[in-house]
Amino acid sequence: MANPNLECRMYEAKYPEVDMAVMIQVHHITETGVYVSLLEYNNMEGIIPLSELSRRRIRSVSSLIKVGHQEPAIVLRVNKEKGYIDLSKKTVSEEDVQACEEQYNKSKLVHSIMRHVAEIHSIDVEELYTTIGWPLYRKYGHAYEAFKLIATDPDSILNFLTKEAGPDGEEVTKVVAAVTEDVKDTLVKNIRHRMMPQPVKIRADIEIRCYQFDGVLHIQKALRKAESFGNEDCPVKIKLVTAPLYVLTTQTLDKNQGISVLTNAIKACSEEIEKYKGKLVIKEAARVVGEREDKLLAEQMEKMWLQN
């Protein structure tokens, strides 16, 4: 196919259900309502009546909603014959926002991968959804969950996808694999590139003091106690910035595990130094840090080294 159609809804159902939370993008605002597109349904048009914008009295529509913004809305009515969809913003709860954003982010990633594979192999993206995407949605609740499994064990997921095949105009004669080897290879490569988990860096900042005789040795012992709480998947490393400031770091695929390990390490370190009448103060609790924080720490340590 020379020019495949890369536009398609994300889900098998052509229309959303009433009371469902959907992600919308605002296009224009009129005296009658706010016209939006439903991002998960191939930009199908919908409208939010002005009366559905807020429970409070509206002084300025622009203060409530802005052109170009993406946000969740609740489906009020669906007229499939005329293609009308009425939505509400005022009935959206915090739980709706969280669930809708999580669902949309997963669906958007799946859609991006599907479009890319369809473009490479000159296939209509809807055809790819019909043979791969929507069957995975039906079986796993969301194709995103299936894609996570495909990243580590593609055959166990994709080899079970089949379709009925037969000559045009005749009865079905056999069942064949829904995914050709070249499409499968491209799909798996894209999933692994986009979805394989990346390690995150967790860091905590502490101050530790001990004014007893051999206080330095007691501090060293307490820090070694903290390091012992690390494991193969989540090793604890400690650096001296400048006495009495230390940083504890770990790298792990599981953010929650990393934060837990450093928190427990600090607790053990504090209990150990208190045996010798020392004190540990948490300056910054365990949290995820990025390259910027690493760079600032390196600059701070270099500055302290030069001063010393």
203 phi/psi in degrees, rounded to 5:
-140, 145
Residues in CB range of 192: below 8 A, 6 or more apart:
151
Evaluate if residue 46 carries a pLDDT over 60.
yes
Respond yes or no on whether the N-terminal peptide bond of residue 16 is cis (omega within 30° of 0): no
Query: What is the reported pLDDT for 15?
Result: 95
Return the minimum-mean-pLDDT range out of 45-59, 94-108, 220-234: 45-59
Q: Which two tokens stand for residue 113?
A: 């991968």
8 phi/psi in degrees, rounded to 5:
-165, 150
Share the mean pLDDT of the chain: 88
> Could you tell me the pTM of the whole model?
0.65
Overall average pLDDT of the 225-238 stretch? 92
Letter for the amino acid at 279?
K
Overall average pLDDT of the 28-45 stretch? 92
Overall average pLDDT of the 38-55 stretch? 91
Query: What is the reported pLDDT for 136?
Result: 93
Query: What is the reported pLDDT for 226?
Result: 95
CA distance 7 to 111: 10
Measured in whole angstroms, the distance separating CA 236 from the mean position of its chain's CA atoms is: 26
In this predicted model, what pLDDT tens digit does every residue of 124-168 receive, in sequence order?
A: 999 999 999 999 999 999 999 999 999 888 988 888 887 665 555
The proportion of the chain whose per-residue pLDDT surpasses 70, expressed as a percent, equals 90
Q: Domains in the chain, please, with CATH? A: 21-91 (2.40.50.140), 97-195 (1.10.150.190), 200-307 (3.30.70.1130)
* pLDDT grade for 283, boundaries at 50, 70 and 90: very high
In this predicted model, what pLDDT tens digit does every residue of 187-203 receive, in sequence order?
A: 999 999 888 777 889 99
Query: What is the reported pLDDT for 175?
Result: 56
